[in-house]
């Protein structure tokens, strides 16, 4: 089992503020993430006009759009902080707009059924991360075929539950094994639970190789009130604990460690079952 890639999802918490975007990148690197992800959408290419004409709530999301002029500077900031830059394209031309800058693409679960978007990402040759929330196995199998048919090579399938936040009992982490066994791709967990135990279980029990989580800086982001975003001081110890646990594996050899050698003579003597070995009892001076 290999260590997972931790990816912070900035989502719409950036407030269209370039300096705030930089803070997300810097903080993500500081807390131990290997990648940071943004979203590139335009409201009029995200929601149908019938919805926008009726819903001010959806029209107001225009204020959440990430300006494309930010992309070169975000990529450079990621490079300076030794962290991968990724982004979710929500319209077809966004794939081309992102190509020069991203290490990998991510397709959201709501767009997983859009063949053209999967195909466009696959044709770039870059790795793709595909979220499978709400999907059944037939839909996932179809998406995989579209990816492969269009020349895609490297893909990670994320299990997630598109319920924000997700109660622990609804996480269904065992679906990670199902995804691996059925499709053979790398697997990961997109977290909406905000529970350390869930992330730990996803990695250590089910072998998640990719952990995505929603991040906010201080609780003032647009999505924080929904309850599915982590704060830096909450997620940093989780990342540290996950990586620390891997150091406990050792090399697998069953031999006394150097720091155990002094204790070996304090084991029970086979002749009478008392500690320590008889050979040192007389020499013991308290």
Query: What is d(CA 183, CA 200) in angstroms, rounded to the nearest whole number?
Result: 23
Determine which helix (DSSP H) or strand (DSSP E) holds 84, and give its type and residue range. strand 84-89
Nearest CA among 189, 196, 138 for reference residue 161: 189
pTM: 0.94
Residue pLDDT, tens place only, 36-48 = 999 999 999 999 9
Residue pLDDT, tens place only, 13-64 = 999 999 999 999 999 999 999 999 999 999 999 999 999 999 999 999 999 9
- The alpha carbon dihedral of 176, 180, 183, 189 has a sign of positive
CATH no. for 5-246: 3.20.20.70
Query: What is d(CA 78, CA 26) in angstroms, rounded to the nearest whole number?
Result: 8
Query: What residue ranges do the domains of the chain occupy?
Result: 5-246, 261-286
Confidence of residue 283 (pLDDT cuts 50, 70, 90): confident
Residue 181 burial by Cβ neighbours in a 10 Å radius (0-12, 13-18, 19+): exposed
What CA–CA distances, in Å, run from 229 to 161, 168, 213? 14, 15, 7
Query: What is d(CA 234, CA 270) in angstroms, rounded to the nearest whole number?
Result: 50
Determine which helix (DSSP H) or strand (DSSP E) holds 88, and give its type and residue range. strand 84-89
Helix, strand or coil, per DSSP, at residue 285:
coil
φ/ψ of residue 95, rounded to 5: -60, -45
């Amino acid at each position: 089992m290999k260590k997972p890639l931790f990816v912070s999802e900035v989502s719409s918490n950036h407030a269209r503020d370039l300096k705030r975007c930089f803070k997300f990148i810097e903080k993500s690197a500081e807390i131990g993430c290997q990648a940071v992800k943004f979203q590139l959408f335009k409201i009029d290419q995200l929601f149908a006009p019938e919805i926008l004409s009726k819903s001010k709530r959806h029209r107001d999301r225009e204020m959440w759009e990430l300006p494309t002029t930010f992309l070169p500077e975000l990529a450079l900031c990621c490079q300076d902080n030794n962290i991968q830059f990724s982004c979710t394209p929500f319209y077809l031309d966004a794939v081309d707009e992102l190509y020069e800058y991203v290490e990998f693409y991510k397709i959201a679960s709501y767009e997983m059924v859009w063949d053209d978007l999967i195909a466009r990402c696959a044709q770039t040759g870059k790795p793709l991360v595909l979220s499978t929330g709400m999907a059944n196995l037939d839909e996932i199998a179809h998406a995989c075929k579209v990816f492969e048919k269009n020349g895609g090579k490297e893909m990670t399938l994320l299990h997630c539950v598109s319920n924000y936040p997700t109660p622990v009992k609804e996480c269904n982490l065992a679906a990670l094994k199902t995804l691996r066994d059925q499709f053979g791709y790398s697997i990961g967990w997109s977290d909406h639970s905000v529970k350390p135990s869930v992330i730990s279980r996803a990695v250590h029990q089910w072998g998640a190789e990719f952990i995505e989580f929603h991040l906010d800086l201080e609780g003032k982001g647009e999505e924080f009130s929904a309850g599915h975003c982590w704060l830096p001081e909450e997620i940093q110890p989780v990342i540290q604990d996950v990586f620390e646990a891997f150091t406990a594996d050792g090399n697998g050899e069953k031999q006394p460690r150097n720091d155990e050698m002094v204790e070996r003579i304090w084991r029970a003597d086979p002749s009478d079952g008392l500690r320590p070995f008889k050979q040192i009892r007389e020499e013991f001076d308290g």
